[in-house]
Structures are given as structure tokens and as C-alpha cells.
Structure 1
Amino acid sequence: MSINAFPNFRYHPDPVATGNVGPSTITCRVCQQARGYVYLRDAIHAGREDYSEQICPWCIADGRAASALDIAFACSLDIDESVSETALEELSLRTPGYVSFQGQKWLAHCSDICRFLGDPSVEQVSQASAATIEAWCAANGTDEAVWLELASDYVPGADIGFYTFECLHCGLIQFHVDAT
């Protein structure tokens, strides 16, 4: 992987735009290189050490960070059983995670993990398709009235968080909703 080509993350295509990777002059803890970007979040691990702002995206993408430090980056719990172990491994060990109030939750659709697109705008939530709302209601065991209440209270960065996911196969936009 070229040091100049930013890594491609199938399930988190633009971690810089979502605020999970940022510009930095820090030397990566794994490869010992200052590559211009660093993962801003902590990793998932059993220890007490904080790995935030210590790992470059290149070492996440090729799996070196997960292997060398015995860590994961994205949580793969609660994902549909039809998702392959290969996809779960790519998500957990080679994909930058994201931050949410109650802990990240990745959505799946069409037997694959969806790609994370970040926080939506108020317009994206208020203009959600019927299929998006139906998928959310089904996943959360509730009805459209609850969706409408949450959507009407949504303000980016406030106490209710909406996180956007897109199916890699059919393009369905889905939202994970979380609150403080």
C-alpha cells in the first residue's frame, strides 16, 4: 500500500469526513511513520491503555494494528447472522470505528455489513424514504409514530444521535438512532 494513497475502507469510506480520522504529524505506534493522518478514537481492547491518536489508517487497513496490539476498531455485535465471518473480520480488525452515545452499532442489509456515512443532516432524516423508516421500525420493534417523534427532535450534535448507513448492494439508507 502506497504511503501517499489513503487506504480504502469498504465499510467506512470516508473516515476523515466522519471525524474519526484526522490530520496529524504524530508517528504511528505500529509502523513508526508519520503519514499525515491518525485514527482519533480509542480501539476496543481488554487493557486500560488509550490508543487514540496513536495509529495511522494504513495500519488499520492492512490489519497490522489489530495484530500487533491485539485490538479491534469497529464493534460487530448485533449483526445479522447471514453476514460472513470474512466481512465481520474486516469490520472489526481493518475498519475505523465511529463514536456514538451508547457505543457503536453497525447495521447490515443484503447479508453484508452496511457502510457508515456519518451523521445525517436534519433534511436527510426528515426526508427519509418509506423503506428507510420501515427498516428502522422493524429493526427496533416499534411503529412509525416513534420514528416521527425522534426525527422531529433531531438536531445534529444534540442528545439524539442518528448515524447513517448505506447498503452496499441495494443502496438502502438506514439509520441507527442513539441517545445520551
Structure 2
Amino acid sequence: MSINHFPNFRYHPDPVATGNVGPSTTACSICQQARGYVYLRDAIHPGREDYSEQICPWCIADGRAASALNIAFACSLDVDQDVPETALEELSQRTPGYVSFQGEKWLAHCRDVCRFLGDATLEQVRQASAASIAAWCAANDADEALWSELASDYAPGGDIGFYTFECLHCGLIQFHVDAA
């Protein structure tokens, strides 16, 4: 199946670009089809089986994988705002997750989950808006001095991760900052 028919993920619009879904000739363990892409990460589940590189994005998008294996893909537990249960279900059961140092944290704004855009570029961090910095400071009970310190130490692929999220309603760019 071509990329033109790739599933649409509301909260993770380009999991191939973010490195969480990749090309593969492996058949999906759910639908038994080799569709050209697999989820590269493991799922969130109580067991010890590793599901990385075994599930196609189509089975994530339609919820078959979460239902069949009793697993989640994106962690909805760290969403800080009052978000409807339907959005949390879509996030955890039908959205590819991402990897961060201490565990993913999905951000929310305007009473909805934000979409994950991937690791921030150095330019995105250096040119963060006052509203983005203020949102990070409020969410982390921190001040701009700490933001400045973390931002000045940031190098993509280094020991500090800046993960970019965008509000689907107002467009606010937010960052989840994590360290090794």
C-alpha cells in the first residue's frame, strides 16, 4: 500500500518523519499483511512481550491492535488538562507513541490533546515564542531562567530532549522537556 493511503493520526500526524513508524517488509502480527510500514516502538502493556516492529500503522489507527493485544501505544496518563475521555482513548489506543528519556508525556491545550510534531530543532527552541515559554514555565512550575538554561544546553540528539507539540485549536506550540 502506498504512503498516499497511510492512516491519518490526529495526535501524531507524521509518525514516519518522527521515527516512530518505519518502512518494513514484515507482516503485521494483527492483520497478517505486509503493508510496507511497522510501528518501531514497543507498546504499553502489562506483559513482557516486545511488540516493536510487529504491528502496522493501520491496525493502530483502527484500534484492532489495542483491542486484540490489550495494549496502548501513547501514554494518556500524563495529560494535564481536562480532556474528554474520547480524546484520551484515541490517544492511547489509536495513536503511535513516541520515545523520550523518562517516558513520553503528551501535552494538552484548549481541552484537547495536542499533536506531536517530533523532536524540536535547535531553531525551534531558540525562537520559542513568549507564549510557548510561559506555557512550559506554568506546566513545570519553573521560571524563564530555567528555560533559558535548558535551551542553551540543548543540542538535538543530546542529553536534553525538547519534544514539540501543537494545539489543534489555537496553534500554540508547546514543548515537553526531558533529560537523560
Matches of 1:146 and 1:3, distance apart in 2: 41
Q: Distance in 1 between matches of 2:178 and 2:120?
A: 13
Counterpart contact for 1:43–1:51, Cα < 8 Å: yes
Inter-partner Cα distance in structure 2 for 1:158 and 1:4: 33
Q: TM-score, length-normalised on structure 1?
A: 0.97
Aligned residue in 1 for 2:106 = 106
Structure 1 regions of 5+ residues with no counterpart? none
Shift, 1:78, TM fit: 2.3
Alignment of 1:159-170 (within 5 A): 159-170=159-170
Deviation at 1:79, TM superposition (A): 1.4
Match of 1:18 in 2: 18
Q: How far did residue 96 of structure 1 move? A: 0.1
Q: Is the 1:9–1:95 contact (alpha carbons within 8 Å) kept by the matching residues of 2?
A: yes
Q: Which amino acid aligns with 2:151?
A: A
Letter in 2 for 1:129: S
Corresponding pairs, count: 180
Q: Deviations over 1:18-61 (max 9, x none)?
A: 00000000000000000000000000000000000000000000
Higher alpha-carbon deviation: 71-80 or 44-53: 71-80
Q: Separation in 1 of the partners of 2:119 and 2:79?
A: 20
What is the letter of the counterpart of residue 123 of structure 2?
A: E
Counterpart of 1:42?
Answer: 42
Name the SS of the counterpart of 1:118 in structure 2: strand
Unaligned runs of 5+ in 2: none
Q: Does residue 1:120 correspond to 2:117, yes or no?
A: no
Q: Which amino acid aligns with 1:164?
A: T
Letter aligned with residue 12 of structure 1: H
| 1:80 Cα offset (Å) | 3.2
How far does the alpha carbon of each residue in 1:76-117 deviate from its partner, in whole angstroms, 9 at most, with x for none? 112134200000000000000000000000000000000000
Q: Which moved more, 1:103-112 or 1:2-11?
A: 2-11
TM superposition outliers: structure 1 runs of 4+ over 4 Å: none
TM-score with structure 2 length normalisation? Answer: 0.97
Q: Residue 96 of structure 1 aligns with which residue? A: 96
Q: Aligned residue for 2:61?
A: 61
Give the root-mean-square deviation of aligned CA atoms: 1.4
Q: Percent identity?
A: 84
